[in-house]
Amino acid sequence: MNIKKNNGLKIICLNRKASFNYFLIDFFEAGIVLRGSEIKSVRNGKVSIADSYGIEKHGEIYLINSHIPIYKEASYINHNPYAERKLLLNKREISKLIGKMNQDGLTLVPTKMYFKKGKAKIEIAVGKGKKNFDKRQTKKTRDWNRDKSRYFRKTS
């Protein structure tokens, strides 16, 4: 996987399906609680957050269904690849996210995971699910923009 550097950020993985499947409303940056073998595996860049989402449990936000593979060089005490991982947010941000999650059709979707100053961070977005006709409109707009850029490139 190609790792891109962006303003001091070392991007680990992106969730490209998020912007296609959801209308992304609000973005938050959160730390993520990882064990030793998990952070070693994250540094290898083999993380997948494509099908993951956030939930509220006991007044805290957890990331569900994210896949961090087992680190081979770890000892016999290794981590569960699909474990729930706690997100580190301020109380104000947590209450704001819980309030938005209680609205109809809104969910927490991770958009990217990256290193910032050596710490693993995750960007989560509050999103509303798209219907099939919204997805068709997104495809149509994307194809039109691609054809338009080809046309202007040929005429220039």
Convert the pLDDT of each residue in 5-55 to its tens digit.
Answer: 557 788 999 998 888 888 899 999 999 999 888 888 888 888 999 999 999
Number of domains in the chain: 1
Q: What is the pLDDT of residue 108?
A: 93
Torsion of CA 51, 8, 33, 29, to 10 degrees: -60
Q: Report pLDDT digits (tens) over 42-91.
A: 888 889 999 999 999 999 999 999 999 988 887 777 888 888 999 999 99
* 78 within some domain: yes
Pairing mode, strands 119-129 and 22-32:
antiparallel
Q: Which residues form the domain of 54?
A: 5-130
> In CATH, what number is assigned to the domain containing residue 118?
2.40.280.10
Condensed to tens digits (0 to 9), the pLDDT of residues 104-149 reads: 879 999 999 999 998 999 999 999 988 888 888 888 998 999 998 9
pLDDT of residue 14: 92
